[in-house]
Every structure is written in structure tokens, then in C-alpha cells.
């Protein structure tokens, strides 16, 4: 639909955009990405005809853009640029009506019944109908942008060119606008070429992206291009971490500030407060820890400060989140586990292993109806170190392996219960575990400590169970 062939151009004889080639398919959402000064707006103005082309061609639907009349271009292409300027004091309805001009017939160019239907429809879907008689100059920046989008859609174009269309919009209206564009792309075959600043938004909505760097394309491809962290670091000069979106198959980017968070000199095992009573074990750390768990509250990968084991009987008819809030523990900052076991029997072991401070917490639930049968095993490993995602999962598996070995060693009837919780929490302090050569030895040592803690907890439980029976 849009073909750019070896394009060069700019504001003078020396081109800013150099040797650009691009082929955008009909019905595709294509996003142009790059930092300020990379040439995005220059390329946009070359494609829209606002700047002269030094060399190369731009074709729309197989026809050279420069050879089309203004009316022919207006029937095929609509443009939404950053500049929100109107010379005359038009109302919103009058501005949107201008979008129908290329389709009007006759000398007087009056609006037909169909034109009015289109105008009403785009005003409704862009949610600007209530401003119909309002003067354009009285609108906010975001409202003006939505009106201009409605004007562009009123053209019923085959191609829509957008220069940072969400620049003046808040999060809600950004998603509303892009959802609307995706719907038109799907239902009307609209081809969209958009300059976007927000890489995460581009990943969610674009089919393909181009990364512009110093006037040339560094790469053109699908949104998985945004998984290439080193390439993005080169272009944007910031640390970037790419991760999968939890709900849609698209990457999302986490940006790291150049300043470093001050390292807390407090020894890890002195950096938390512990409270234990008949209903709860509550560990409150001074700094958030990066956690991986299947806890009842705070599951998944999180940054959390509070870690709780709560007796089921104390929760009553409340859900666990409500109980936490009612007891002054913010549910969005906690990993919490509801347990049927006696909180007094929870085993906590603190240890220094190969120069790394560790803490193991073990809570055991027994099945009172079956001899030497476990109803649940909850294992929490706190470690002073910097763990990448792979390491989090490695330690998660280490904990599970230790649990299975203990169950087999003691000939227990239950090895894995649906109630079981495993939690790994790391301080992420830069000076710990980042480049450990004896990682395997450390994991073996942790397995031994967990085994010891589990044996202690299990024997304590079964001794008490035997006494009660």
C-alpha cells in the first residue's frame, strides 16, 4: 500500500533521512520508532509531502505520491500531525465536516445526507459529539487531538498517517484512540503508519515496527524486534529489559534509571522485623525483595516487603486479602499464605553460607486422618543476592527438590500437595551473587539447610500429632 524506495531528504541540501526503503502492506499497522533527532518527523513530512524529496520515490497503492493531485491524495490518505492549529474559529462539527470535502461533488461542495451520516458516526466513535457546537480553540490538547482524528476518519481514507497521535492524551484516551484505530484496521482494512514514542504502546498495537537511528533504519520487523535489549540500548542510550506481557503475546519494556539505588549497608539478616504470635508469622523487610512464589496473595514475580503465614482459623469468613488489610498489612505489598498448621510450629533458620546470608522458613500441615501424611508444605527461601529470572527459577526448583527428598526419606504419603507454597525472595543487592563461580555449591548447601529445617518441622509436627492422638 505504501512503498518508500531509497528515499532521502531533509531541510536543506544535506539529507537528514538517507536511503530509506520501506514496504507497508494494505491493512497493516506500522509504527515508526526512534529517539528525538533520529529523523522520524522528517521522514513523516517527506511521506506527507511537507518537505521536498532529494532522491527516491514514495508510492501509494502503486502510484507515485508526487504525481497525484491534492484531491486524489485526500481521497486515499488522511494525515494527523502534531501541530494543532486552526486559522479560523471553527466549531468542532465544522472542522470534522472538512474531512468530507474530497468526496463532495458539484461546484458548491455541499454536504450530502451520506456525508452527514459519516460525520455523526465519527463524532460518536471518537467521543467528541458533546463538543459539536463548541469552538475548537476552547478545547484541551487531548480533546483537539480527538477532533482532528474524527476529521481524518471522516475522509474514509485507505491510509492514515499519524505523527505521535497520543502526544496530548492521557492513558485512558490513548487506549481508546488506538483501540478505535485497530477496529478500523480490522473492519475497514485501514492502513496505518504512525510515529509513536511509547515503546510499550507500540508493541501492543503495531503489527510491525521500524527502528530509526541517525536517519537510517537500524531494523524493520515485527514487535519482537523490541526484545533486542542491546539494540534498544544503543538507540535510546538507556538500560532496557524486555519481558513478556502477562496477558497478550507481546513484549513489554522496563527502563532502568541511570542513577543507582543506594546500597543498604545493613546486613541482610538485620534488615527485617519479625513478629510471631499464635495466629501469624509476619516478616517485614526495610526494602522490597524480588520474589517468585505461588503464594495465596502476592503470587508470581513481585517486589514485596511483607511476608506472612496466617492461621486459617484466625481469618474466619474473611478472605485473606481483607484480613491482611484489617490487620494493617497492605495486601499489594505482601506475599501471604493461609495455613491450617500451628503457627507456633513454624521453623525459621538463619545462616551464612559461602558468604551469603540466608533465611529458611518452613511451615508444615499434617493430615490428621492419615498416619504420617502431609497435607501441605510451605517453604520460603530468603537470600541476600542479585538473582536474574533464571536464577529465581533455579532456586525455586532447588527448594522443591529438597522437599521431595525429605518426603521420600521419611516415607511420607504426600510428596506434592495443591496447597504447597514455595517462595524465593532476593535482596537484589548488586554486590551479592551477581558473578558467583560456586553457584552450584551454594545451591547444594541451600538444599541441605532446607532438608534440615524440614526434618525439624516434620518431626515436631508428628511428635505433637502422636501425643494428641
Q: Are residues 186 and 140 in the same domain?
A: yes
The answer to the question of residue 44 being in a domain is yes
Higher pLDDT, 260 or 28: 28
The answer to the question of residue 264 being in a domain is no
Residues 134-140: contacts with CB under 8 Å, at least 24 apart: 134/91, 134/92, 135/89, 135/90, 135/91, 136/86, 136/89, 136/90, 136/91, 136/92, 136/95, 137/86, 137/89, 139/92, 140/168
The answer to the question of residue 263 being in a domain is no
Cα(206)–Cα(381) distance, integer angstroms: 41
Q: Are residues 135 and 196 in the same domain?
A: yes
**How many CB atoms are located within 10 Å of the residue 214 CB?**
13
Q: Are residues 293 and 239 in the same domain?
A: no
Q: Are residues 426 and 336 in the same domain?
A: yes
Q: Are residues 191 and 290 in the same domain?
A: no
Q: Are residues 252 and 296 in the same domain?
A: no
Cα(469)–Cα(462) distance, integer angstroms: 10
The pLDDT of 352-365, averaged and rounded, is: 92
Q: Are residues 243 and 283 in the same domain?
A: no
Q: Are residues 251 and 337 in the same domain?
A: no
pTM of the model as a whole: 0.84
The answer to the question of residue 119 being in a domain is yes
The pLDDT of 56-72, averaged and rounded, is: 89
The whole-number pLDDT of residue 86 equals 66
The pLDDT of 199-203, averaged and rounded, is: 97
Contact 373, 334 (CB under 8 A): no
For strand 356-366 and strand 347-353, is the pairing parallel, antiparallel, or unpaired?
antiparallel
Q: What is the pLDDT of residues 111-125, one digit of tens each?
A: 899 999 999 999 999
User: At 457, is the pLDDT very low, low, confident or very high (cuts 50, 70, 90)?
Assistant: confident
Q: What is the pLDDT of residues 392-440, one digit of tens each?
A: 999 999 999 998 888 888 777 655 566 799 999 999 987 556 555 678 8
Among 12-21, 162-171, 271-280, 431-440, whose mean pLDDT is lowest? Answer: 431-440
The answer to the question of residue 261 being in a domain is no
User: At 468, is the pLDDT very low, low, confident or very high (cuts 50, 70, 90)?
Assistant: very low
The whole-number pLDDT of residue 265 equals 79
User: At 262, is the pLDDT very low, low, confident or very high (cuts 50, 70, 90)?
Assistant: low
The answer to the question of residue 185 being in a domain is yes
**Helix ranges restricted to H, 267-376:** 312-315, 320-326
Q: Are residues 218 and 290 in the same domain?
A: no
Q: How far is CA 450 from CA 310, 351, 444, in A?
A: 21, 11, 10
- The average confidence (pLDDT) of the chain is 89
The whole-number pLDDT of residue 111 equals 87
Q: Are residues 352 and 447 in the same domain?
A: yes
User: At 212, is the pLDDT very low, low, confident or very high (cuts 50, 70, 90)?
Assistant: very high
The pLDDT of 155-165, averaged and rounded, is: 94
Higher pLDDT, 106 or 319: 319
Percent of the chain topping pLDDT 70: 91
What CATH code is carried by the domain that includes residue 177? Answer: 3.40.50.300
Q: Are residues 211 and 344 in the same domain?
A: no
User: At 42, is the pLDDT very low, low, confident or very high (cuts 50, 70, 90)?
Assistant: very high
Q: Which of 256, 281, 307 is a domain's end point? A: 256
Q: Is 269's pLDDT higher than 90? A: yes
The answer to the question of residue 9 being in a domain is yes
The whole-number pLDDT of residue 271 equals 94
Q: How far is CA 167 from CA 82, 145, 146, 162, in A?
A: 8, 9, 11, 11
How many domains in the chain?
2
Residue-range definition of the domain harbouring residue 297: 270-468
Q: Are residues 312 and 343 in the same domain?
A: yes
Q: Is 469's pLDDT higher than 50? A: no
Q: What is the pLDDT of residues 83-95, one digit of tens each?
A: 666 667 899 999 9
Amino acid at each position: 500500500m505504501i512503498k518508500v524506495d531509497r528515499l532521502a531528504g531533509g531541510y536543506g541540501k544535506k539529507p537528514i533521512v538517507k536511503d530509506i526503503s520501506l514496504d507497508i502492506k494494505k491493512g497493516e499497522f506500522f509504527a515508526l520508532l526512534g529517539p528525538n533527532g533520529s529523523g522520524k518527523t522528517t521522514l513523516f513530512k517527506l511521506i506527507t509531502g511537507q518537505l521536498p524529496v532529494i532522491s527516491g520515490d514514495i508510492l501509494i497503492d502503486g502510484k507515485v505520491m508526487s504525481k497525484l493531485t491534492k484531491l486524489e491524495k485526500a481521497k486515499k490518505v488522511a494525515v494527523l500531525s502534531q501541530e494543532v492549529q486552526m486559522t479560523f474559529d471553527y466549531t468542532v462539527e465544522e472542522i470534522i465536516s472538512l474531512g468530507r470535502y474530497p468526496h463532495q461533488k458539484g461546484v458548491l461542495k455541499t454536504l450530502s445526507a451520506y456525508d452527514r451520516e459519516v460525520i455523526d458516526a465519527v463524532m460518536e466513535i471518537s467521543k467528541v459529539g458533546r463538543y459539536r457546537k463548541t469552538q475548537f480553540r476552547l478545547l484541551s490538547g487531548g480533546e483537539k487531538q480527538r477532533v482532528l482524528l474524527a476529521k481524518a476518519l471522516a475522509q474514509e481514507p485507505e491510509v492514515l498517517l499519524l505523527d505521535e497521535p497520543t502526544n496530548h492524551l492521557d492513558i485512558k484516551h490513548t487506549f481508546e484512540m488506538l483501540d478505535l484505530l485497530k477496529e478500523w484496521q480490522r473492519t475497514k482494512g485501514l492502513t496505518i503508519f504512525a510515529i509513536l514514542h511509547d515503546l510499550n504502546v507500540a508493541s501492543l498495537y503495531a503489527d510491525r515496527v521500524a527502528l530509526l537511528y541517525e536517519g537510517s533504519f537500524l531494523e524493520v520487523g515485527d514487535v519482537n524486534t523490541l526484545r533486542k535489549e542491546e539494540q534498544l540500548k544503543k538507540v535510546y542510550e538507556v538500560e532496557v529489559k524486555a519481558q513478556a506481557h502477562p496477558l497478550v503475546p507481546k513484549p513489554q519494556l522496563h527502563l532502568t534509571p541511570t542513577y543507582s539505588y543506594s546500597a543498604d549497608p545493613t546486613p541482610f539478616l538485620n534488615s527485617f522485623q519479625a513478629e510471631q504470635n499464635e495466629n501469624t508469622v509476619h516478616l517485614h523487610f526495610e526494602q522490597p525483595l524480588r520474589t517468585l512464589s505461588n503464594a495465596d496473595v502476592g503470587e508470581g514475580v513481585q517486589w514485596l516487603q511483607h511476608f506472612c503465614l496466617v492461621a486459617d482459623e484466625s481469618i474466619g469468613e474473611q478472605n485473606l486479602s481483607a484480613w491482611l488489610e484489617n490487620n494493617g498489612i497492605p495486601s499489594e505489598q505482601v506475599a501471604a499464605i493461609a495455613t491450617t498448621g500451628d503457627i507456633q510450629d513454624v521453623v525459621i533458620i538463619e545462616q551464612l553460607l559461602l558468604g551469603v546470608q540466608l533465611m529458611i522458613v518452613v511451615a508444615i500441615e499434617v493430615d490428621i486422618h492419615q498416619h504420617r501424611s502431609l497435607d501441605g508444605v510451605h517453604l520460603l527461601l530468603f537470600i541476600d543476592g542479585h538473582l536474574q529470572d533464571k536464577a529465581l527459577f533455579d532456586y525455586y526448583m532447588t527448594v522443591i527438590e529438597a522437599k521431595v527428598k525429605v518426603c521420600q526419606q521419611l516415607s511420607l504419603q504426600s510428596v506434592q500437595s495443591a496447597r504447597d507454597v514455595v517462595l524465593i525472595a532476593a535482596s537484589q543487592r548488586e554486590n551479592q551473587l551477581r558473578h558467583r563461580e560456586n553457584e552450584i555449591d551454594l545451591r547444594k548447601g541451600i538444599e541441605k539447610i532446607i532438608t534440615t529445617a524440614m526434618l525439624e518441622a516434620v518431626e515436631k509436627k508428628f511428635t505433637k500429632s502422636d501425643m494428641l492422638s
